[in-house]
Amino acid sequence: MKSLKNHLSLIVALLSILFSLQTFIVVDRAIASYKQNLANNYSLVVVSKKRLQKDVIVSKNPLINEINEISPDTVLKKLDGDMKRKEREFLKLSLPKFYKLKLSHYPSPDEINSLTKALLRDSSIVKVETFSRTHDTTYKLLLLFKSVISLFAISVAIVTILLISKELKIWQFKHNERMSIMALHGAPIWLRSAVLFRLAIVDALVATFLGFLLFSYIASSAWIAEQFSYIGIDVVVFDTFKDSLMMFSVSMTLSIFLATIIVLVHKEEV
């Protein structure tokens, strides 16, 4: 009972830190996935007098992922159905070429501008359609998401600092007396702090394990998966290896740091 109480406060603090950190990571992943979704669904349309060389176009700007010709048939089908076959062939030849450009990521308005300019430098390209109005609103939304996640990151950092400094005070109060008494009996510094480091390491391990259980459970919940699929994104809530490793290193670093500070600032009372 007694030893459980000794461990509990640091474990709870570490677990809250791991929880907010992992939540932050999930939100970050969700936004990245949403961004990728946007990039996949967004394309420019380029109108050209002549047939374009695909690799030349792609090399114009690193943003361009692929370029595909839009078949004129779809356009022509909409025109009068009883046009003669020959006339249609002729029209097809005289029509400009339409291309669809896919981009590697969702571009900022500036990126779109420079991309448009680069494309128009090609004398055969007559028009670049960027669908700028819808793009702008979506982009603003994305910027909003980004500032939300920065705020989130800041609040995770603040929570971490607050919890750890509170833990520091509790630990100082709890361990200074014992360390003083051990010093009065001639215990060298490594022996005085051994208990502290053992406690720190055990607590970090327990917190990591609990964080692992918690997020494994959350990741397996059908409700969470449902929420993400509503938005149409695919998010890894808990990467068993990578995220466990992150939790382990974060909690170990924090608790060892805490123990080191306590040992360094320890003053013997008379």
Give the binding site for another protein (CB under 8 A).
2-3, 6, 174, 177-178, 181-188, 191, 268, 270
- To the nearest whole angstrom, how small is the minimum distance from the Cβ of residue 182 to another protein? 7
Please tell me the distance from the alpha carbon of residue 4 to that of residue 17, in angstroms, as a whole number.
20
The conformation of residue 60, written as its DSSP 8-state character, comes to: H
Which of helix, strand or coil describes residue 186?
A: coil
- To the nearest whole angstrom, how small is the minimum distance from the Cβ of residue 234 to another protein? 49
Cβ closest to another protein, residue 62 vs residue 188: 188
- To the nearest whole angstrom, how small is the minimum distance from the Cβ of residue 185 to another protein? 5
Cβ closest to another protein, residue 64 vs residue 179: 179
Cβ closest to another protein, residue 86 vs residue 185: 185
Please tell me the distance from the alpha carbon of residue 17 to that of residue 247, in angstroms, as a whole number.
9
Please tell me the distance from the alpha carbon of residue 130 to that of residue 115, in angstroms, as a whole number.
10
Where helices occur in 129-241 by DSSP H, the ranges are: 132-184, 189-219, 222-231
- To the nearest whole angstrom, how small is the minimum distance from the Cβ of residue 169 to another protein? 17
Please tell me the distance from the alpha carbon of residue 200 to that of residue 110, in angstroms, as a whole number.
50
The conformation of residue 185, written as its DSSP 8-state character, comes to: T
- To the nearest whole angstrom, how small is the minimum distance from the Cβ of residue 15 to another protein? 22
Cβ closest to another protein, residue 120 vs residue 194: 194
Cβ closest to another protein, residue 10 vs residue 21: 10
